[in-house]
A and B are shown apart, each in its own frame.
Chain A
Amino acid sequence: MQQSLNIPFLIDTFFTALSGVPITLAVTAVAMLIAVPAGFLLALSRVNEVPVLREITKVYVSFVRGTPIIVQIFITYASVPLILTALFEKYGIQANVYELNPIWYAFIVFSFSTTAILSEVFRSALSTVDRGQLEAAWSVGLTGFQSFRRIIIPQALVSALPNLATATVNLIKATSLGYALSLQEITLKAKVAANAGYNYIEAYIDIFLVYLILCSVVEFAFKKYEQRAARFRVQHV
């Protein structure tokens, strides 16, 4: 096996992998757009000790945290078509569920798991804001909703940002498991390119680089935003 790296292939495949970035970002964005509000509401249900909903949240979070995402993908991929077929038959809808774009499964799985993660992120962030802040907001005549929007959330958000950045980066990386759904994202595209000439090392290096760049950019953006949002914590004179 006296074989050096296939440099032209390495470069070509880098761009092939790069062409999977939009799908990766689309899944990440949709999952975050659903998970941020949903996770926040679940966090509120735990902080405010809403009966029933709080218990459901606890069980849900432990289910998601206690299982690998790949297993969640397998279960969703296997069960959702069955459920949909049954529903379609019942209501006489003419549609073939097996032609469904796999991205829909990705949306479901990653929204589901990220919501659980973020509910924990927001729960810990909300608990960093002293109760006195809420009492002070009430005392100047703010309603509960106004107090949260103007006083509690801006402060909790700053505490949540580092964990939110971690969760986002983890999500981006986790979308690589979408290859199990034949989702046309970074990993799958590069692997398919590699299959033709068995150039796996080159493909893996490309995947490695693309994720590294993508995640670094996201982390940098979060850091910049955090600096801005945390101005009120800086003790300069």
Chain B
Amino acid sequence: MLEFKGVRKSFGPLQILKGVDVEIGKGDVVVILGPSGSGKTTLLRCLNFLERADAGTARLGSLEVDLNRATKKEVHAVRQKTAFVFQNYNLFNNKTALENVMEGLITGRKQPKETARKKAAAALDKVGLSDKYDAYPVQLSGGQQQRVGIARALALDPEVILFDEPTSALDPELVGEVLGVMRQIAADGTTMLVVTHEMQFAKDVASQVVFMDDGVIVEAGTPGQIFDRPAEERTKRFLRRVLPDEYNYSI
């Protein structure tokens, strides 16, 4: 249903993505793991045209676009079908929580105000912020802001939500509430492409885990395959570094 093929991107002489293919079925949760600098975030940003890829194609349902040569119209069409959750939340600072969620519905998708308000309220309720409709971002904690960010994406009812390290800017004690919301919406059947360093989340929630390193996909498979029986040496090395003691057999 969603397919990205041959995504390439360089920044100057530095090749960040060297031809990456990702396929996501409806309702799938695909988690991308990998060391910093492996190109995970750049991949996600290319898919939503926040960076312009050097090459690659995207297919979202019936819509097929060239990631490098897409016209303004095509870029807009792709963004209408996707949603993005940012590492730094990027809530609209001049709008309340409710207005943040409504903005994409009213201005972006031309829905009537009342419909938008109902959908936005429902989305905020879902992420447990029914008492924060009228709060501005400065009045919310990081975890609450990120939950508004998720509600903003969710309310758009997109074909896929792209999560760019949604918990890595949060204090450790706030990570749980955001991951909790993500588990819940995954269970509801939301299609998600998640870049994260949260291994437990990947193990529990992912339908597919993709391990990236140095601009290529090294290995992909079910969480069981990747975490318990990794085939590639690079995957094993990475997992040994990031996983807690139960998987680390060296003394």
Interface residues of chain A, those whose CB is within 8 Å of chain B, are 130, 132-133, 135-143, 146, 150-151, 154-155, 158, 231-237
Do A138 and B93 have beta carbons less than 8 Å apart? no
> Given A132-B88, A232-B138, A140 and B103 touching (CB < 8 A)?
yes
Residues of A within 8 A of B109 (CB): 141
**Selected interface stretch from B57-65, B75-83, B193-201, B241-249:** B75-83
Residue of B nearest to A236 (CB): B139
How many chain B residues touch A (CB < 8 A): the figure is 30
Whether the pair B138, A233 counts as a contact (CB closer than 8 A) is yes
By beta carbon, the residue of chain B nearest A141 is: B108
Query: Using Cβ atoms and an 8 Å threshold, which residues of chain A touch B103?
Result: 137, 140, 142, 150-151
Q: Can you list, as one digit per residue, whether each of B80-119 has a CB less than 8 Å from chain A (1) or not (0)?
A: 1011101010111111100000011001110000000000
Partner of A139, one of B84, B88, B96: B84
A231 to B93, CA, bound (A): 10
Check: B156 CB closer than 8 A to any chain A CB. yes
Contact A133 B93 (CB under 8 A): yes
Which residue of chain B is the closest to A235 with respect to CB atoms? B138
Bitwise, B146-165 to A at CB < 8 A (1) or not (0) is 00000011001000000000
Cα A136 to Cα B145 in complex, Å, equals: 13
Q: Is B231 an interface residue (CB 8 A)?
A: no
- Secondary structure dominating the interface of A: helix
Q: Does B50 contact A (CB under 8 A)?
A: yes
* Nearest opposing residue in chain A for B135, CB measure: A237
Q: Which residues of A contact B88 (CB under 8 A)?
A: 132
Given contacts A132-B88, A136-B84, A136-B90, contact A232 B136 (CB under 8 A): yes
Rounded to whole angstroms, the CA-CA distance of A234 and B139 in the bound complex is 8
Closest B residue by C-beta to A144: B72
Q: Quick one: given A132-B86, A150-B103, A232-B136, are A139 and B48 in contact (CB under 8 Å)?
A: yes
The distance in angstroms between the C-alpha atoms of A154 and B95, with both chains bound, is: 10
Complex Cα–Cα for A136 and B152 (A) = 10
Which residues from chain B sit less than 8 Å from chain A, CB to CB?
A: 48-50, 76, 79-80, 82-84, 86, 88, 90-96, 103-104, 107-109, 136-139, 152-153, 156
**A128 CB to nearest B CB, Å:** 11
Please, which residue of chain A has its CB at the minimum distance from the CB of B45?
A135
Cβ of B117 to closest chain A Cβ, rounded Å: 16
Given contacts A142-B108, A143-B76, A235-B138, contact A136 B91 (CB under 8 A): yes
Q: How far is the CB of B144 from chain A (nearest CB, A)?
A: 12
Asked if A142 contacts B107 (CB within 8 A), the reply is yes
Q: Report yes or no: B139 in contact with A235, Cβ–Cβ below 8 A.
A: yes
Residues of A within 8 Å of B153, CB to CB, are 140
Closest to A140 in B: B104
In the complex, A150→B103 CA distance in Å? 9
B93 touching A155, Cβ below 8 Å: yes
Given A135-B86, A136-B86, CB of A141 within 8 Å of CB of B104: yes
Q: CB distance B90 to A141 under 8 Å?
A: no
Taking the closest CB of chain A, its distance from the CB of B212, in whole angstroms, is: 22
> Which residues of B lie under 8 Å from residue A155 when comparing CB positions?
93-94
Task: Decide if B107 touches A146 in the complex (CB within 8 Å).
Answer: yes
Are A232 and B93 in touch, CB under 8 angstroms?
Answer: yes
**A135: which B residues are within 8 A, CB to CB?**
50, 84, 86, 90
Contact A150 B90 (CB under 8 A): no
Q: Which of A135, A136, A154, A234 has the most CB of B within 10 A?
A: A136
